[in-house]
Amino acid sequence: MPAPSGGTISDRVWRTAHSLRDQLARARAWTAGLSRSAAVRRSPLPTEGVHVFYGYDQLPAADEVARGGIIKFQRLSEVFPNSPRWFNILYMVSSDHPLYATQLVRAALDKGARFVWNQDGVAYPAWMPSGWQALNARLARLLHAADYVFYQSEFSRISSDRFLGQRSGPWEVLYNAVDTDRFLPSPSKKAGRDLVLLTAGSKYVLERILSPIRTLAAVRERHPRTSLLFAGRVSRQLLGPAQQLIAELGLQDSVTFLPAFTQEQAPGLFQRADILLHPKINDPCPGVVIEAMACGLPVVFSDSGGVPELVGSEAGRGVPTEASWERFEPPAPRAWAEAVLTVAEDLSLFAQAARQRAVERFDLRPWVERHRQLFEQLLGGDPEN
């Protein structure tokens, strides 16, 4: 998680506190890893069937809040239940793996299990000004130890090749997926009603809160009956500046902060909105974008990272963004507003295209079936190249 930008005392306190917390967490993880690795080596290896362990003894249930990387395992575990003590496939994701993952992989491979790695994003100076090399070194060890790698997008592969090194082993690009039977458009939306923008996901960077607020103000100049929903965790340090800007712009009645949401709650949340506003720069493959499209929400997004691969040209509008590995230059609120208004003018067409794209490209069933094929091939000794 990157630290807030700037060099104020509160920022330095934030960095110090998180550094101490991370050191303590790593010390505990090392101890836990030793214990977990010993248990893995002692456990027998299944000789028949597919038995998957996702790196954690327990996955969050559908009615519990989960982070992005784990959500895909929640879905996959409905077909391949989590099996911490009796497994022949170890499957982990780069964006949410245990701190003792390296120890766990070594123990799993030693006993003859196969290791699959799901690669999301990497660290680099624009996103993580300090400590990015150490994080990438850990990710690289896991990526290159894997028997097979799924990259979540072409952008994920390109950034991984650059910062983690190009793989010599087998891999493929496999986008995240959504249950299109559960994530559905709202049956009660009516044309001409108030326009509702939604930005979803955890917010730990101030610009990702202030930018949508300023965008709302710009949109309301031409579409006054527009409101904005924030859904997800928001750092307490950022709420003060956000509320101050809301008051300055006179938007107190037009901005609502909602808490973090579960997978059970997610479809209903998306159905409350018309357009997903996704300001994160260089996002590799956000599940929230795919879920929103499945619910018929067009996406207005930073034209960077892997999101253009998901949305295409028909399911939303990208906002030109200056982004490099060294620095980000967020788009101006007016640029965001123009994209929102363009989508709003043909909202029903964009909504239909978003739903269709999600069903055709990101449905859960082919994604699960591809995992089944790979797991069986790995256990049969024949991974695809």
Q: How high is the pLDDT of residue 17?
A: 52
Q: Which CATH number fits the domain 195-361, given the four candidates 3.30.465.10, 3.30.1130.10, 3.40.50.2000, 3.40.630.30?
A: 3.40.50.2000
Give the rounded percent of residues in the chain with a pLDDT score beyond 90: 77
Of the pLDDT bands very low, low, confident and very high (cuts 50, 70, 90), residue 99 is confident
Asked if 118 contacts 92 with a C-beta cutoff of 8 angstroms, the reply is yes
Looking at residue 295, its amino acid is C
Which helix (H) or strand (E) segment is 92 a member of? strand 89-93
Q: Is the dihedral of CA 96, 98, 100, 102 positive or negative?
A: negative
Instruction: With a cut of 80, say whether residue 261 has pLDDT above it.
Output: yes
Instruction: With a cut of 50, say whether residue 369 has pLDDT above it.
Output: yes
- φ, ψ for residue 79, nearest 5 deg: -105, -40
Instruction: With a cut of 90, say whether residue 383 has pLDDT above it.
Output: no
- Model confidence pLDDT, tens digit, residues 42-71: 888 998 999 999 999 999 988 888 877 889
- φ, ψ for residue 196, nearest 5 deg: -120, 120
Greater confidence, 254 or 41?
Answer: 254
Domain 25-177+364-379 and domain 195-361, same fold? Reply is yes
Average pLDDT over the chain, rounded to an integer: 90
Rounded to the nearest 10 degrees, the angle between the axes of helix 207-220 and helix 333-345 is 60
Instruction: With a cut of 70, say whether residue 30 has pLDDT above it.
Output: no
- Model confidence pLDDT, tens digit, residues 218-241: 999 999 999 999 999 888 889 999
CATH number for the segment(s) 25-177+364-379? 3.40.50
* Locus of tokens 């997610």: 266
Q: Which two tokens stand for residue 242?
A: 């956000």
In the chain, domain spans: 25-177+364-379, 195-361
Looking at residue 347, its amino acid is L
- DSSP-derived pairing of the beta strands 328-329 and 322-323: antiparallel
- φ, ψ for residue 324, nearest 5 deg: -140, 180
- Model confidence pLDDT, tens digit, residues 297-341: 999 999 999 999 999 999 999 999 999 999 999 999 999 999 999
Greater confidence, 257 or 20?
Answer: 257
